[in-house]
A and B are shown apart, each in its own frame.
Chain A
Amino acid sequence: MRSGPSDLKSTTVVEGLQMDIWEDRQGEIVILAVHGKLDAATSPLFEERLRPMLERGERNFLLDFSHLDYISSAALRRLLMLAKKANEAGGKVVLASLKGGIREIFDMAGFTQIFPIHASREEALRSF
């Protein structure tokens, strides 16, 4: 597994699976653009990427899903746990740019009522 500096694209690769996480920051908001799939195989690595951030006090996260192709219910649960930790620290997790299929999965799982969801990254940033 390899990763790069926090303000550059970093690629997390595991055994033929691929998930890219592009990291950016605006003030106190950490912006993470997830490319590829979030499922039982890749979501632990996503969590592993966020854990150090939470430990050093980051609490406001904007997850940009404009390049997310698929998310499974196992990954949804990990997102929920991330949101719980952020909320407990006084921050929040906001989602942006959910594509059609991803939005449908969130709707079915009832997660559109749990996470603030915005049409674009800019709109999501304004919500903080």
Chain B
Amino acid sequence: MAQKPSNLIFGVEESPGWGALILLSLQHISVMSIAFIIPVIIVDAVGGTPDDARSLISMAMLAVGIGTILQGINRGPVGSGYLCPLVNGPAFLSASLLAGKVGGLPLIFGMTAVAGFFEGLFSRVVARMRAVFPAEVTGTIVMMVGIEIIPIAVQKFLGVDKAHPSADGTAILVAAITLVAMAGFNVWGAGKLRLYSVLMGMLVGYAAAFFTGVLTVRNIEAMLAAPLFALPAVGRYGLSFNAALLIPFLVAVLSSALKTMGDVTTCQKINDAQWKRPDMMNISRGVLACSLGNMLSGLLGALGQSVSSSNIGLSIATGATSRRIAYGTGVILVLLAFFPRLSSVFVIMPTPIMGASLIFAVSFMILAGISILMSRMIDSRKTFVIGISVIFGLSVDFAPELYRNVHPWVQPMFSSSLSLSTICAVVLNLVFRIGIAKSATLSVTPGMEGSDRIYNFMDQRGRAWGARSEVIYKATAVMNEFFEAASEHGLTRGPIEMTVRFDEFNLDADIVYRGKPIEFPDLRPDVRDLLEDEQAPLRLAGYMMRSMSDGVTAEESGDTARLHIHFVH
């Protein structure tokens, strides 16, 4: 059973009251609405009308609303059970633009539905791929998920959009006021102030935008011009398929699925104070929920969807991760699909407020990724996996022109810092696993140098295996306790063979030597024993070995003693 971290106000299993639930859901929708720009970009690219844009946004609300609810389900084969809102993801942007050029909106929707099907197949094998996604890979993905958003976040913060191609001073002022308000409420506010810090910051931002003229009466009139009620036109554009576009959409959906794996891992970690490693079965269910969301998107006439990392960052910042917020968010989004005028409140969000919201949320995502990276010991192999992946990922943002002439089929791989860094991390991890043995043996002779050799040996092994430092610490301590006891009390004069084996769930040490086995008493010697009884220190060593491990046994065979020490990893 997961232990709720102390920084959470509403944990995943808890239920906010109705008022809090609605406000928290609206807060999430405010951040999700930033992604409504994606349908607008697509419609613009295919030469569609404002009516087409409104239709796609309506369908997006319907599809991601249902997808968010599916993702929050924690029973059965579908859903991670976490607050993992979905949005029209940038992972699909490049492939969708390509499909739009070739076959218009019907082709985009048809290929999205097919991609969702393949994502479902991928979800069935994910659970067996733990070795492919160790902490250095998932941490890199989670960190890059946040970094990928930086260009768009800063652009919006500076007020840069179609109408304003360069940084605008007034927009920056509005963005700064919004961000200061959000961060201020979050850092110095307690309880409700922290819980609604983004929503309140946005309200402050809207006020600042209105008073500075960034939000104009014209924007408000455009919102009021939208119909109050309208049935979403499901399947309005039809579906089509083109096998030539399968590869770009498969790359897009794989990229999206890997991102989902990173995001669900983050959700697991932030909801469990004792998190040790990704739960691959849970991740598999999360990816399946996304695949169903994508199939639904295609069939309804909406774009591909991915987990919104900004919203996960929001839930970390506000301390509200209850899955009921996922249900509330999904239901409200589905309802908003029928009320275009209400949903326009989010659609007219001024660009600098979007930028401030993204910067706020992305800060937490980047740190979440770094936290996963730091949860395990690191050696030079892992340094290369992380470093090279981040370098090439960032190169896509720093110098996108370098990848302009890449073949269109694989263009999605090079379309974002996240895609390229993810692919690099997965491939490099597989390469650098070559030569890592699952077991290693150290031979020490009773004397002074043995302790140092044990420390160095275990440190190197821990780094090579990417083990948790606290488990390596305990194993080192136990092995050293035995070594010191053997040296000081003459348990053996000859070499001591220490063999250590590791898999993700267990660390086992076997100690073999010629001599008598050490005892592992149930009771520790008291102060008087330690000061007066010469054998008490030996009993203390045995007691400490037993206490610091998760199981210890000793056996004797002729003049050879064997100890087996087990640690749960």
Which residues of A, 60-77, contact B by the 8 Å Cβ criterion?
70, 72-74, 76-77
Quick check: A73 and B537 within 8 Å, CB to CB?
Answer: yes
Q: Determine how close the nearest CB of chain A comes to the CB of B107; give it in whole angstroms.
A: 57
Q: A72-B481, A74-B488, A108-B548 are in contact. Are A16 and B537 (CB under 8 A)?
A: no
A108 to B525: give the CA distance in the assembly, Å: 11
Which residues of B, 186-221, contact A by the 8 Å Cβ criterion?
none
Is B244's beta carbon under 8 Å from chain A? Answer: no
Which residues of B, 507-545, contact A by the 8 Å Cβ criterion?
524, 526-527, 530-531, 537, 540-541, 543-544
Is B477's beta carbon under 8 Å from chain A? Answer: yes
The residues of B that contact A114 with a CB separation of less than 8 Å are 527
Q: Specify which of B455, B531, B544 is in contact with A73 (CB 8 Å cutoff).
A: B544
Q: Determine how close the nearest CB of chain B comes to the CB of A36; give it in whole angstroms.
A: 11
Is A15's beta carbon under 8 Å from chain B? Answer: yes
A101 to B477: give the CA distance in the assembly, Å: 10
Provide the A63-106 mask, 1 if CB < 8 A to any CB of B, else 0.
00000001011101100110010000000000000000100010
Q: A72-B480, A81-B531, A101-B470 are in contact. Are A41 and B451 (CB under 8 A)?
A: yes
Quick check: A74 and B537 within 8 Å, CB to CB?
Answer: yes
A37 to B477: give the CA distance in the assembly, Å: 11
Measured CB to CB, the nearest residue on chain A to B527 is: A114
Is A1's beta carbon under 8 Å from chain B? Answer: no
A10 to B404: give the CA distance in the assembly, Å: 60
Is B243's beta carbon under 8 Å from chain A? Answer: no
Is B448's beta carbon under 8 Å from chain A? Answer: yes
The residues of A that contact B527 with a CB separation of less than 8 Å are 80, 114
Quick check: B524 and A17 within 8 Å, CB to CB?
Answer: no
A17 to B480: give the CA distance in the assembly, Å: 14
Q: A40-B487, A73-B541, A101-B473 are in contact. Are A80 and B451 (CB under 8 A)?
A: no
Is B452's beta carbon under 8 Å from chain A? Answer: yes
The residues of B that contact A101 with a CB separation of less than 8 Å are 470, 473, 477
Give the interface centre of A16, A41, A81 by most chain B CB atoms within 10 Å.
Answer: A41
Quick check: B547 and A40 within 8 Å, CB to CB?
Answer: no
Quick check: A15 and B530 within 8 Å, CB to CB?
Answer: no
A74 to B481: give the CA distance in the assembly, Å: 8
A70 to B452: give the CA distance in the assembly, Å: 12
Is A119's beta carbon under 8 Å from chain B? Answer: no
Is A53's beta carbon under 8 Å from chain B? Answer: no
Quick check: B484 and A74 within 8 Å, CB to CB?
Answer: yes
Q: Specify which of B473, B476, B480, B544 is in contact with A108 (CB 8 Å cutoff).
A: B544
Quick check: A39 and B537 within 8 Å, CB to CB?
Answer: no
Q: A39-B451, A40-B487 are in contact. Are A80 and B531 (CB under 8 A)?
A: yes
Quick check: A15 and B541 within 8 Å, CB to CB?
Answer: no
A80 to B532: give the CA distance in the assembly, Å: 12
Provide the B213-256 mask, 1 if CB < 8 A to any CB of A, else 0.
00000000000000000000000000000000000000000000
Measured CB to CB, the nearest residue on chain B to A18 is: B452
Is A52's beta carbon under 8 Å from chain B? Answer: no
A114 to B455: give the CA distance in the assembly, Å: 28
A80 to B530: give the CA distance in the assembly, Å: 8
Q: Specify which of B473, B476, B488, B530 is in contact with A40 (CB 8 Å cutoff).
A: B488
Q: Determine how close the nearest CB of chain A comes to the CB of B5; give it in whole angstroms.
A: 17
A80 to B536: give the CA distance in the assembly, Å: 13
Is B51's beta carbon under 8 Å from chain A? Answer: no
Q: A15-B448, A39-B480 are in contact. Are A109 and B531 (CB under 8 A)?
A: no
Is A5's beta carbon under 8 Å from chain B? Answer: no
The residues of B that contact A15 with a CB separation of less than 8 Å are 448-449
Provide the A1-44 mask, 1 if CB < 8 A to any CB of B, else 0.
00000000000001111000000000000000000010111000
A14 to B455: give the CA distance in the assembly, Å: 16
Quick check: B451 and A105 within 8 Å, CB to CB?
Answer: no
The residues of B that contact A105 with a CB separation of less than 8 Å are 477, 544, 548
Q: Determine how close the nearest CB of chain B comes to the CB of A81; give it in whole angstroms.
A: 7
Give the interface centre of A41, A73, A74 by most chain B CB atoms within 10 Å.
Answer: A73
A108 to B520: give the CA distance in the assembly, Å: 14
Provide the B439-459 mask, 1 if CB < 8 A to any CB of A, else 0.
000000000110110010000
12 contacts between A and B (CB under 8 A): A17-B452, A37-B451, A37-B455, A39-B484, A40-B451, A40-B484, A72-B480, A73-B481, A84-B531, A108-B548, A109-B524, A110-B524
When A and B form their complex, which 8 residue pairs have the shortest distance between CB atoms, in order from nearest? A40-B484, A108-B547, A73-B540, A74-B484, A73-B544, A41-B448, A73-B541, A77-B537
5 additional A-B residue pairs with CB within 8 Å, beyond A72-B477, A110-B526: A17-B448, A70-B477, A73-B541, A81-B531, A105-B544
